[in-house]
Amino acid sequence: MTIVSDAMDETPPPPFPPPLAGEGQGGGIRLTEQQLRARRSRSIAIALALGAFVVVIFLVTLVKLGSNVLTRPM
Amino acid sequence: MSVTLARIEPSIAGVGDYVALLKPRVMSLVVFTALVGLLIAPGHVHPVIALTALLCIAVGAGAAGALNMWYDADIDARMLRTAGRPIPQGRVTPGEVAGFGLTLAVFAVATLGLLVNWVSASLLAFTIAFYVVIYTMWLKRSTPQNIVIGGAAGALPPIIGWAAVTGGVAVEPIVLFLIIFFWTPPHFWALSLYRAEDYARAGIPMLPVVAGEAETRRQIVLYTLILAPLGVAPWLMGFAGPLYGIAAIAGGAAMIALALRVRAERHGHVASKQMFGFSILYLFLLFAVLLADRLWGGLAAQAVSHFAA
Protein backbone atom coordinates (compact mmCIF):
# COMPACT_ATOMS: atom_id res chain seq x y z
CA MET A 1 0.00 0.00 0.00
CA THR A 2 1.42 3.37 -0.98
CA ILE A 3 1.34 6.53 1.04
CA VAL A 4 -1.03 8.07 -1.53
CA SER A 5 -3.57 5.24 -1.34
CA ASP A 6 -3.41 5.34 2.50
CA ALA A 7 -4.33 8.98 2.38
CA MET A 8 -7.21 8.25 -0.07
CA ASP A 9 -8.70 5.69 2.37
CA GLU A 10 -9.26 8.37 5.05
CA THR A 11 -12.80 9.77 5.02
CA PRO A 12 -12.62 13.51 4.31
CA PRO A 13 -14.40 15.69 6.89
CA PRO A 14 -17.80 17.04 5.72
CA PRO A 15 -17.67 20.69 4.66
CA PHE A 16 -20.55 21.58 7.07
CA PRO A 17 -22.09 19.84 10.08
CA PRO A 18 -24.91 17.52 8.99
CA PRO A 19 -28.26 19.35 8.86
CA LEU A 20 -30.60 18.93 11.79
CA ALA A 21 -34.35 18.44 11.51
CA GLY A 22 -35.91 21.60 10.06
CA GLU A 23 -32.63 22.76 8.54
CA GLY A 24 -31.70 22.82 4.89
CA GLN A 25 -28.30 21.93 3.43
CA GLY A 26 -25.54 24.12 4.81
CA GLY A 27 -27.23 24.84 8.16
CA GLY A 28 -29.89 27.30 6.88
CA ILE A 29 -33.35 27.07 8.41
CA ARG A 30 -35.97 25.50 6.17
CA LEU A 31 -39.45 26.46 7.36
CA THR A 32 -42.21 23.89 7.55
CA GLU A 33 -45.56 24.45 5.84
CA GLN A 34 -47.12 25.43 9.17
CA GLN A 35 -44.35 27.93 9.93
CA LEU A 36 -44.66 29.45 6.44
CA ARG A 37 -48.44 29.81 6.81
CA ALA A 38 -48.07 31.40 10.26
CA ARG A 39 -45.42 33.84 8.99
CA ARG A 40 -47.60 34.81 6.02
CA SER A 41 -50.61 35.49 8.23
CA ARG A 42 -48.46 37.56 10.63
CA SER A 43 -47.02 39.58 7.72
CA ILE A 44 -50.52 40.34 6.38
CA ALA A 45 -51.69 41.41 9.87
CA ILE A 46 -48.69 43.74 10.30
CA ALA A 47 -49.32 45.24 6.83
CA LEU A 48 -53.00 45.84 7.67
CA ALA A 49 -52.11 47.40 11.05
CA LEU A 50 -49.55 49.73 9.44
CA GLY A 51 -52.06 50.64 6.71
CA ALA A 52 -54.71 51.42 9.34
CA PHE A 53 -52.19 53.56 11.26
CA VAL A 54 -51.39 55.57 8.10
CA VAL A 55 -55.12 56.09 7.43
CA VAL A 56 -55.68 57.29 11.02
CA ILE A 57 -52.80 59.78 10.79
CA PHE A 58 -54.07 61.00 7.39
CA LEU A 59 -57.67 61.49 8.60
CA VAL A 60 -56.64 63.21 11.84
CA THR A 61 -54.38 65.53 9.85
CA LEU A 62 -57.32 66.51 7.64
CA VAL A 63 -59.59 67.02 10.67
CA LYS A 64 -57.05 69.07 12.62
CA LEU A 65 -55.96 71.28 9.73
CA GLY A 66 -59.44 71.57 8.19
CA SER A 67 -59.53 73.99 5.26
CA ASN A 68 -56.04 75.19 6.20
CA VAL A 69 -54.75 72.05 4.53
CA LEU A 70 -55.09 74.00 1.24
CA THR A 71 -53.29 77.08 2.55
CA ARG A 72 -49.74 77.22 1.27
CA PRO A 73 -47.42 80.16 1.91
CA MET A 74 -46.18 81.47 -1.42
CA MET B 1 -13.49 32.79 24.31
CA SER B 2 -16.25 30.62 22.91
CA VAL B 3 -19.72 31.90 22.20
CA THR B 4 -22.68 29.56 22.29
CA LEU B 5 -25.64 30.66 20.25
CA ALA B 6 -29.07 29.41 21.30
CA ARG B 7 -30.96 27.68 18.53
CA ILE B 8 -33.89 29.88 17.53
CA GLU B 9 -36.97 27.90 16.61
CA PRO B 10 -39.04 29.61 13.88
CA SER B 11 -42.35 30.82 15.28
CA ILE B 12 -45.61 28.99 14.63
CA ALA B 13 -47.67 31.76 16.25
CA GLY B 14 -50.59 32.85 14.12
CA VAL B 15 -52.54 36.10 14.19
CA GLY B 16 -55.08 34.45 16.50
CA ASP B 17 -52.39 33.96 19.16
CA TYR B 18 -51.50 37.66 19.10
CA VAL B 19 -55.19 38.58 19.24
CA ALA B 20 -55.57 36.27 22.28
CA LEU B 21 -52.67 38.11 23.98
CA LEU B 22 -54.73 41.31 23.79
CA LYS B 23 -57.53 39.76 25.92
CA PRO B 24 -60.28 40.77 23.47
CA ARG B 25 -63.17 40.19 25.91
CA VAL B 26 -61.63 42.49 28.53
CA MET B 27 -60.76 44.93 25.76
CA SER B 28 -64.38 45.07 24.55
CA LEU B 29 -65.61 46.02 28.05
CA VAL B 30 -62.86 48.65 28.33
CA VAL B 31 -63.79 50.15 24.94
CA PHE B 32 -67.49 50.14 25.81
CA THR B 33 -67.05 51.91 29.16
CA ALA B 34 -64.60 54.40 27.61
CA LEU B 35 -67.14 55.09 24.85
CA VAL B 36 -69.76 55.93 27.48
CA GLY B 37 -67.33 58.28 29.25
CA LEU B 38 -66.58 59.90 25.90
CA LEU B 39 -70.23 60.36 24.89
CA ILE B 40 -71.55 61.71 28.18
CA ALA B 41 -68.78 64.33 28.34
CA PRO B 42 -69.88 67.91 27.67
CA GLY B 43 -68.61 69.58 24.53
CA HIS B 44 -68.03 68.36 21.04
CA VAL B 45 -65.32 66.18 19.61
CA HIS B 46 -64.92 65.29 15.95
CA PRO B 47 -65.94 61.66 15.27
CA VAL B 48 -62.49 60.89 13.79
CA ILE B 49 -60.79 62.16 16.96
CA ALA B 50 -63.26 60.17 19.11
CA LEU B 51 -62.59 57.02 17.09
CA THR B 52 -58.83 57.59 17.35
CA ALA B 53 -59.14 57.95 21.13
CA LEU B 54 -61.13 54.70 21.39
CA LEU B 55 -58.61 52.88 19.16
CA CYS B 56 -55.72 54.05 21.37
CA ILE B 57 -57.58 53.03 24.55
CA ALA B 58 -58.32 49.60 23.01
CA VAL B 59 -54.69 49.07 21.99
CA GLY B 60 -53.48 50.30 25.39
CA ALA B 61 -55.81 47.83 27.15
CA GLY B 62 -54.57 45.06 24.84
CA ALA B 63 -50.95 45.97 25.61
CA ALA B 64 -51.68 45.74 29.34
CA GLY B 65 -53.27 42.32 28.77
CA ALA B 66 -50.23 41.10 26.82
CA LEU B 67 -47.80 42.33 29.50
CA ASN B 68 -49.96 40.63 32.13
CA MET B 69 -49.71 37.33 30.21
CA TRP B 70 -45.95 37.78 29.84
CA TYR B 71 -45.41 38.22 33.58
CA ASP B 72 -47.97 35.62 34.66
CA ALA B 73 -46.92 32.87 32.22
CA ASP B 74 -45.72 30.65 35.10
CA ILE B 75 -48.99 30.75 37.04
CA ASP B 76 -51.10 30.69 33.86
CA ALA B 77 -49.56 27.30 33.06
CA ARG B 78 -50.75 25.91 36.42
CA MET B 79 -54.37 27.07 36.12
CA LEU B 80 -57.01 25.27 34.05
CA ARG B 81 -58.67 28.57 33.07
CA THR B 82 -55.45 30.01 31.63
CA ALA B 83 -53.37 26.98 30.60
CA GLY B 84 -54.52 27.36 26.98
CA ARG B 85 -53.01 30.84 26.61
CA PRO B 86 -50.32 31.32 23.91
CA ILE B 87 -47.24 31.35 26.21
CA PRO B 88 -48.11 28.23 28.29
CA GLN B 89 -48.98 26.46 25.03
CA GLY B 90 -45.49 27.29 23.68
CA ARG B 91 -46.77 29.08 20.59
CA VAL B 92 -45.21 32.44 21.54
CA THR B 93 -42.08 33.06 23.62
CA PRO B 94 -42.23 35.33 26.71
CA GLY B 95 -39.70 37.68 25.10
CA GLU B 96 -41.87 38.12 22.01
CA VAL B 97 -44.88 38.91 24.19
CA ALA B 98 -42.95 41.45 26.30
CA GLY B 99 -41.77 43.20 23.12
CA PHE B 100 -45.26 43.08 21.62
CA GLY B 101 -46.89 44.52 24.76
CA LEU B 102 -44.32 47.27 25.33
CA THR B 103 -44.42 48.37 21.68
CA LEU B 104 -48.22 48.58 21.66
CA ALA B 105 -48.28 50.42 25.01
CA VAL B 106 -45.80 53.07 23.84
CA PHE B 107 -47.59 53.47 20.48
CA ALA B 108 -51.04 53.75 22.11
CA VAL B 109 -49.97 56.37 24.67
CA ALA B 110 -47.89 58.42 22.19
CA THR B 111 -50.62 58.37 19.54
CA LEU B 112 -53.33 59.36 22.05
CA GLY B 113 -51.14 62.19 23.33
CA LEU B 114 -50.15 63.54 19.92
CA LEU B 115 -53.53 63.19 18.20
CA VAL B 116 -56.04 63.75 21.04
CA ASN B 117 -54.59 65.26 24.24
CA TRP B 118 -51.94 64.54 26.85
CA VAL B 119 -54.31 64.38 29.84
CA SER B 120 -56.05 61.29 28.41
CA ALA B 121 -52.68 59.88 27.29
CA SER B 122 -51.26 60.29 30.81
CA LEU B 123 -54.31 58.54 32.27
CA LEU B 124 -53.89 55.70 29.77
CA ALA B 125 -50.20 55.36 30.65
CA PHE B 126 -51.10 55.35 34.36
CA THR B 127 -53.78 52.67 33.75
CA ILE B 128 -51.35 50.39 31.88
CA ALA B 129 -48.61 50.89 34.50
CA PHE B 130 -51.05 50.32 37.36
CA TYR B 131 -52.40 47.10 35.83
CA VAL B 132 -48.99 45.68 34.95
CA VAL B 133 -46.79 46.86 37.83
CA ILE B 134 -49.12 47.40 40.80
CA TYR B 135 -51.66 44.65 40.10
CA THR B 136 -49.83 41.96 38.08
CA MET B 137 -46.31 42.19 39.50
CA TRP B 138 -47.13 43.13 43.09
CA LEU B 139 -50.68 42.72 44.43
CA LYS B 140 -51.85 39.61 42.55
CA ARG B 141 -49.35 37.30 44.24
CA SER B 142 -49.18 39.00 47.62
CA THR B 143 -52.62 39.93 48.99
CA PRO B 144 -56.27 38.82 48.84
CA GLN B 145 -57.08 42.50 48.26
CA ASN B 146 -55.41 42.11 44.82
CA ILE B 147 -58.56 42.51 42.74
CA VAL B 148 -60.01 45.21 45.02
CA ILE B 149 -57.09 47.62 44.53
CA GLY B 150 -56.15 46.28 41.09
CA GLY B 151 -59.73 46.87 39.98
CA ALA B 152 -58.90 50.58 39.74
CA ALA B 153 -57.12 49.88 36.45
CA GLY B 154 -60.26 48.38 34.91
CA ALA B 155 -62.37 51.23 36.26
CA LEU B 156 -60.36 54.08 34.69
CA PRO B 157 -61.50 53.87 31.00
CA PRO B 158 -64.64 56.09 31.43
CA ILE B 159 -62.36 58.78 32.92
CA ILE B 160 -59.96 58.42 29.97
CA GLY B 161 -62.90 58.72 27.53
CA TRP B 162 -64.16 61.84 29.34
CA ALA B 163 -60.66 63.35 29.37
CA ALA B 164 -60.30 62.71 25.63
CA VAL B 165 -63.20 65.14 25.04
CA THR B 166 -62.76 67.71 27.82
CA GLY B 167 -59.03 67.56 28.53
CA GLY B 168 -59.84 67.17 32.24
CA VAL B 169 -61.60 65.09 34.89
CA ALA B 170 -64.96 65.76 36.60
CA VAL B 171 -67.35 64.19 39.12
CA GLU B 172 -69.44 62.32 36.52
CA PRO B 173 -66.68 60.01 35.22
CA ILE B 174 -65.45 59.52 38.80
CA VAL B 175 -68.91 58.15 39.68
CA LEU B 176 -68.63 55.74 36.72
CA PHE B 177 -65.14 54.81 37.97
CA LEU B 178 -66.58 54.03 41.42
CA ILE B 179 -69.35 51.86 39.92
CA ILE B 180 -66.79 49.67 38.10
CA PHE B 181 -64.43 49.76 41.10
CA PHE B 182 -67.06 48.39 43.51
CA TRP B 183 -68.44 45.99 40.86
CA THR B 184 -65.06 44.26 40.42
CA PRO B 185 -64.77 42.47 43.82
CA PRO B 186 -68.19 40.74 43.84
CA HIS B 187 -67.71 39.85 40.16
CA PHE B 188 -64.28 38.24 40.61
CA TRP B 189 -64.95 36.72 44.02
CA ALA B 190 -68.05 34.99 42.60
CA LEU B 191 -65.74 33.46 39.98
CA SER B 192 -63.02 32.62 42.49
CA LEU B 193 -65.52 30.72 44.68
CA TYR B 194 -65.83 27.98 42.06
CA ARG B 195 -62.23 28.33 40.83
CA ALA B 196 -60.62 28.30 44.29
CA GLU B 197 -58.68 25.06 43.65
CA ASP B 198 -57.24 26.55 40.48
CA TYR B 199 -56.04 29.67 42.32
CA ALA B 200 -54.68 27.59 45.23
CA ARG B 201 -52.70 25.38 42.79
CA ALA B 202 -51.16 28.49 41.25
CA GLY B 203 -50.40 29.99 44.67
CA ILE B 204 -52.55 33.09 44.14
CA PRO B 205 -53.93 34.37 47.47
CA MET B 206 -57.51 34.93 46.31
CA LEU B 207 -59.99 35.58 49.11
CA PRO B 208 -61.59 32.06 49.16
CA VAL B 209 -58.09 30.50 49.30
CA VAL B 210 -56.84 32.72 52.13
CA ALA B 211 -59.96 33.57 54.17
CA GLY B 212 -62.30 30.76 53.21
CA GLU B 213 -65.62 30.54 51.36
CA ALA B 214 -67.81 31.91 54.17
CA GLU B 215 -65.80 35.15 54.46
CA THR B 216 -65.79 35.54 50.66
CA ARG B 217 -69.57 35.18 50.51
CA ARG B 218 -69.92 37.78 53.30
CA GLN B 219 -67.65 40.24 51.47
CA ILE B 220 -69.58 39.72 48.22
CA VAL B 221 -72.74 40.87 50.02
CA LEU B 222 -70.96 43.88 51.57
CA TYR B 223 -69.51 45.11 48.27
CA THR B 224 -72.83 44.54 46.47
CA LEU B 225 -74.60 46.64 49.12
CA ILE B 226 -72.21 49.50 48.29
CA LEU B 227 -72.44 48.89 44.53
CA ALA B 228 -76.24 48.94 44.16
CA PRO B 229 -76.79 52.52 45.47
CA LEU B 230 -73.69 53.70 43.57
CA GLY B 231 -75.29 52.32 40.40
CA VAL B 232 -78.28 54.63 40.94
CA ALA B 233 -76.07 57.69 41.63
CA PRO B 234 -75.88 58.94 37.99
CA TRP B 235 -79.68 59.35 38.03
CA LEU B 236 -79.75 60.90 41.51
CA MET B 237 -76.98 63.33 40.51
CA GLY B 238 -78.87 64.36 37.40
CA PHE B 239 -76.58 63.18 34.61
CA ALA B 240 -78.81 60.23 33.67
CA GLY B 241 -82.54 60.12 33.03
CA PRO B 242 -85.38 58.18 34.71
CA LEU B 243 -84.98 55.20 32.33
CA TYR B 244 -81.46 54.76 33.70
CA GLY B 245 -82.77 55.16 37.25
CA ILE B 246 -85.30 52.35 36.78
CA ALA B 247 -82.71 50.04 35.18
CA ALA B 248 -80.16 50.77 37.93
CA ILE B 249 -82.68 50.15 40.74
CA ALA B 250 -83.93 46.89 39.16
CA GLY B 251 -80.39 45.69 38.31
CA GLY B 252 -79.08 46.63 41.76
CA ALA B 253 -81.95 44.81 43.47
CA ALA B 254 -81.23 41.70 41.37
CA MET B 255 -77.51 41.92 42.28
CA ILE B 256 -78.33 42.15 46.00
CA ALA B 257 -80.77 39.21 45.72
CA LEU B 258 -78.09 37.11 43.99
CA ALA B 259 -75.44 38.12 46.53
CA LEU B 260 -77.76 37.01 49.35
CA ARG B 261 -78.29 33.69 47.54
CA VAL B 262 -74.50 33.29 47.27
CA ARG B 263 -74.28 34.01 51.03
CA ALA B 264 -76.97 31.43 51.82
CA GLU B 265 -75.52 28.71 49.55
CA ARG B 266 -73.91 25.92 51.55
CA HIS B 267 -73.20 23.28 48.91
CA GLY B 268 -72.21 23.67 45.26
CA HIS B 269 -71.68 26.91 43.38
CA VAL B 270 -74.88 27.42 41.41
CA ALA B 271 -75.56 30.84 42.94
CA SER B 272 -71.96 32.05 42.55
CA LYS B 273 -71.99 31.06 38.85
CA GLN B 274 -75.28 32.94 38.43
CA MET B 275 -73.81 35.94 40.27
CA PHE B 276 -70.72 35.94 38.03
CA GLY B 277 -72.82 35.76 34.84
CA PHE B 278 -75.37 38.35 35.96
CA SER B 279 -72.72 40.79 37.17
CA ILE B 280 -71.40 41.10 33.60
CA LEU B 281 -74.95 41.71 32.33
CA TYR B 282 -75.57 44.25 35.13
CA LEU B 283 -72.52 46.39 34.29
CA PHE B 284 -73.26 46.17 30.57
CA LEU B 285 -76.90 47.13 31.21
CA LEU B 286 -75.99 50.19 33.34
CA PHE B 287 -73.60 51.58 30.74
CA ALA B 288 -75.81 50.67 27.76
CA VAL B 289 -78.84 52.41 29.28
CA LEU B 290 -76.71 55.42 30.23
CA LEU B 291 -75.51 55.58 26.63
CA ALA B 292 -79.04 55.17 25.17
CA ASP B 293 -80.37 57.72 27.66
CA ARG B 294 -77.73 60.25 26.67
CA LEU B 295 -78.12 59.64 22.92
CA TRP B 296 -81.92 59.79 23.18
CA GLY B 297 -81.68 62.94 25.33
CA GLY B 298 -79.39 64.52 22.74
CA LEU B 299 -81.72 63.64 19.87
CA ALA B 300 -84.78 64.87 21.79
CA ALA B 301 -83.03 68.18 22.62
CA GLN B 302 -82.11 68.61 18.96
CA ALA B 303 -85.71 67.93 17.89
CA VAL B 304 -87.08 70.42 20.43
CA SER B 305 -84.66 73.18 19.34
CA HIS B 306 -85.45 72.37 15.67
CA PHE B 307 -89.22 72.77 16.18
CA ALA B 308 -88.76 75.81 18.43
CA ALA B 309 -86.81 77.49 15.65
| pLDDT tens column, A19-31 | 555 555 566 778 8
Q: Does B108 share its domain with B222? A: no
CATH number at residue B121: 1.10.357.140
pLDDT of A34 reads 87
Q: Which of B12, B46, B115 sits opposite A38 (nearest CB)?
A: B12
Q: Is residue A37 part of a domain?
A: yes
Q: Looking at the complex, does the CB of residue A41 fall below 8 Å from at least one CB of chain B?
A: yes
Chain B: nearest CA to A62, how far in angstroms?
A: 10
Q: Which of A37, A38, A60 sits opposite B115 (nearest CB)?
A: A60
What does the pLDDT profile of chain B (309 residues) look like in tens digits?
Answer: 444 445 567 788 889 999 999 999 999 999 999 999 999 999 889 999 999 999 999 999 999 999 999 999 999 999 998 999 999 999 999 999 999 999 999 999 999 999 999 999 999 999 999 999 999 999 999 999 999 999 999 999 999 999 999 999 999 999 999 999 999 999 999 999 999 999 999 999 999 999 999 999 999 999 999 999 999 999 999 999 999 999 999 999 999 999 999 999 988 899 999 999 999 999 999 999 999 988 877 666 566 666 666
Does B11 contact A35 at a Cβ distance shorter than 8 Å? yes
What does pTM read for this prediction? 0.86
Question: Residue A64 belongs to what domain range?
Answer: 16-70
Q: Does B77 share its domain with B203? A: no
- Number of structural domains found in chain A: 1
Does A38 contact B55 at a Cβ distance shorter than 8 Å? no
Q: Does B55 share its domain with B68? A: yes
pLDDT of B1 reads 43
Per-residue CA distances from B3 to A18, A28, A35, B6, B120 (Å) = 20, 19, 28, 10, 47
Q: Is residue A11 part of a domain?
A: no
Q: Is residue A8 part of a domain?
A: no
- Which residue is closest to B92 within chain A, CA to CA? A38
Q: Is residue A6 part of a domain?
A: no
pLDDT tens digits, B253-283: 999 999 999 999 988 899 999 999 999 999 9
Question: Residue B90 belongs to what domain range?
Answer: 20-168
Q: Does B239 share its domain with B124? A: no
Q: Does B95 share its domain with B160? A: yes
